[in-house]
Structure 1
Amino acid sequence: MSLVFGRLQYLTSTRMQASPFIAKLFQSVFGYTNVGNYARSKVFMRIMQQLPIENASKIMDLGCGYGEYSVLMADMLPNAHITALDIDSARCKNVQTMLKKANLQEKIGVVNQKIGDTIEWPQYDFVFSVDVFEHIPEAEMPFSAVLERLRPGGYFLVKIPNRDQRTIFPAQWFEEHQHWLDEEHVGQVYDLEGLQGRFVREGFDIVLAEATDGLLSRLAWELAWLGKKAGVLLQLPTLLLAKLLIGLDPFFQKPGRGNAIHVLGRKPF
């Protein structure tokens, strides 16, 4: 199977669930429709190609959301078991429903808990968290809980928005989204150096640290947002243009600068 992020979007999207046949047909033509998630997935898949986890048996998707990264990891590593963990009970139920329909219950287990809860956990080979920690107050970010639950030599990946954001179009065009960010992104407090420092203080060795999502990627998101607000007639062409810009972004991005950052740490032996 070729790896395709969000291949089950027609089962995970609330809008698409209303007409799954039409949604599946639409997805086969236009591909994945959430531009922000699409951009994140491109970075994630590139990191996975560099990470020596082909023999990993236990992996955790920390803050699994719609379960799309859990499905991707199950496709990538068919012999591994994936724990899809989230504190949102409604999302966990939706993921369980999706897994049942896709016949993936044996490969992915859904856990509605916090990783710091005192339950019996296995030792994981790899834990990853994609755009989750920005929703958590800095003092409550579960770095130490992850370190405890990793085997020696196990990896931990955190990808979050950069504290310092660059934009293209006037800020007032995105006031609705900014209000949401102000309420939700209580943990968007790190630049790349700061996130590396947190990993080191928590006891991890740094394996990889990068900034991604340059100005072309930001332009892609802004165009897609405006297109979606304008309606279907503009949403589709802006979706295709946005994906093109995201594909070009790595070739034009300046090293160390970007609206997203990620750090890959390893638990010492």
Structure 2
Amino acid sequence: MQYDPIKRTLGKLFNQTPALRKVFYRLLDLLLLRSWHVRQELKRLELPAKSAILDAGSGFGQYTYRMSRLFPKSQILAVDVKEEQIADCNQFFTQIQQSDRVRFAEADLTKFEQREAFNLILSIDVMEHIEEDVQVFKNFHQSLKPGGVVLISTPSDQGGSDAHEHDHDHEEGGVHGFVDEHVRDGYNIQEIEDKLKSAGFAKVEARYSYGTPGKISWRLSMKYPIQLLGVSKLFFILIPFYYILAFPIAAILNYCDVKGSHTTGTGLIVKAFK
């Protein structure tokens, strides 16, 4: 399925005013199961009130915006490979008067390092696109302050590439070590734990997401409506009515996926501590 044309259309629609963009972020928070898992993990973190945060692979800026509200006294640097997205996000945060503590910049994660600068590094559906993942993990470790944590969401090797290809935030790649296609089908839990430990992390916690409830929810909330939109843009008219019926079911399934423990799943949530 080709998702990029639909994402570009939605991006243009909701980017006309700051208020519409906030609505777009809220819709992503509600619809994407990945957002439910990341939101839960962020709320559980015990960060200093005035933390320094790196959003490593910020895309549309959805999670940067979430963290700016969740950690209102923190300084946030968000980096990505897309120059136009960086400019767009900087403009939005200027419009909402948050540019004094939230900044976007273009960066290559295989080379980016700011020694002991951050309390938290967030990396959402990025690592599956980067061949030199161990080098990125080393850069993360060097960039974290002692006691800092990196939070990663990425597909697992249990079919994760198919389940996640719809909702990564990047539209294109091919530069700065990032390629739009996945360079791996997904991580095995032991594999990503070993790679993070080899990069210097003392403690790593990994768990499956997108278990059975999540996979059903993904089909209801994302796969089927996007397939319809791919057939004809006329389905934009019907989508609100579809979600009136489908979203309550998807929300219950998302809640079950977030609160449950899964022996397998198509996604991984990983925390690594320095």
TM more than 0.5: yes
1:130 and 2:124 are equivalent in the alignment: yes
Q: Which structure ranks higher in relative contact order (CA pairs < 8 Å, sequence separation ≥ 6)? A: 2
Task: Tell me the secondary structure at the aligned position of residue 27 of structure 2.
Answer: coil
Matched, 1:149 2:143: yes
Matched-pair identity in %: 21
Pairwise CA distance, 1:166: 7.2
TM-score, length basis structure 2: 0.75
User: Whole-Å Cα distance in 1 between the matches of residues 263 and 85 of structure 2?
Assistant: 34
How far residue 215 of structure 1 moved from its aligned partner, in angstroms, is 1.9
Please tell me whether residue 106 in structure 1 is matched to residue 95 in structure 2.
no
Tell me if 1:74 matches 2:74.
Answer: no
Unaligned regions of 5+ residues in structure 1, if any? 1-11
Instruction: Say if 2:273 is the partner of 1:266.
Output: yes
Q: 5 Å matches for 1:228-247? A: 228-230=226-228, 231-232=235-236, 234-236=238-240, 237-238=242-243, 240=247, 241-247=249-255
Q: Where does residue 196 of structure 1 map in the other structure?
A: 193
Mark the CA change 1:97 to 1:257 in structure 2 (over 3 Å): closer, same or farther.
same
Other-structure match for 1:9: none
Equivalent in 178, 182, 185 of residue 182 of structure 2: 185
Q: Structure 1's 90 and 140: CA in aligned 2 closer, same or farther, altered over 3 A?
A: farther
Quick one: structure 1 residues 189 and 220, their matched pair in 2 at CA, closer, same or farther if it must change by over 3 Å?
A: closer
Supply the distance in 2 between the matched residues of 1:160 and 1:186 (Cα, whole angstroms).
12
Distance verdict in 2 for CA 1:158–1:259, change over 3 Å: same
Supply the distance in 2 between the matched residues of 1:125 and 1:24 (Cα, whole angstroms). Answer: 28
- Count of matched residue positions in the alignment of Structure 1 and Structure 2: 242
Q: Could you tell me which residue of structure 1 aligns to residue 256 of structure 2?
A: 248
2:90 match: 96
Q: Which amino acid aligns with 1:219?
A: I
Distance 1:104 1:207 in 2: 33
Distance in 1 between residues matched to 2:62 and 2:239, nearest whole Å: 22
Deviation at 1:222, TM superposition (A): 1.8
Residues 135 and 188, structure 1, Cα contact 8 Å, conserved in 2:
no
Equivalent residue, structure 2, for 1:221: 218
Mean Cα deviation higher: 55-64 or 224-233: 224-233
The change in CA–CA distance for 1:58 and 1:16 in structure 2 (over 3 A counts) is same
What is the Cα-based RMSD across aligned positions, in Å? 3.3
Moved over 4 A (4+): 18-21, 33-36, 118-122, 138-141
Q: Which letter does structure 2 place at the counterpart of 1:248? A: C
CA contact 2:110–2:132 (8 Å) conserved in 1: no
For 1:17, the equivalent position in structure 2 comes to: 15
C-alpha displacement of 1:134: 1.0
1:32 to 12, 23, 27: 27
Question: What's the secondary structure of 2:158's corresponding residue?
Answer: coil
Rounded Cα–Cα distance in structure 2 between residues aligned with 1:255 and 1:97: 40
Q: Aligned in 2, Cα 1:122/1:96: closer, same or farther, shift over 3 Å?
A: farther
Taking the TM superposition and a 5 Å limit, the aligned residue runs for 1:60-71 are: 60-71=54-65
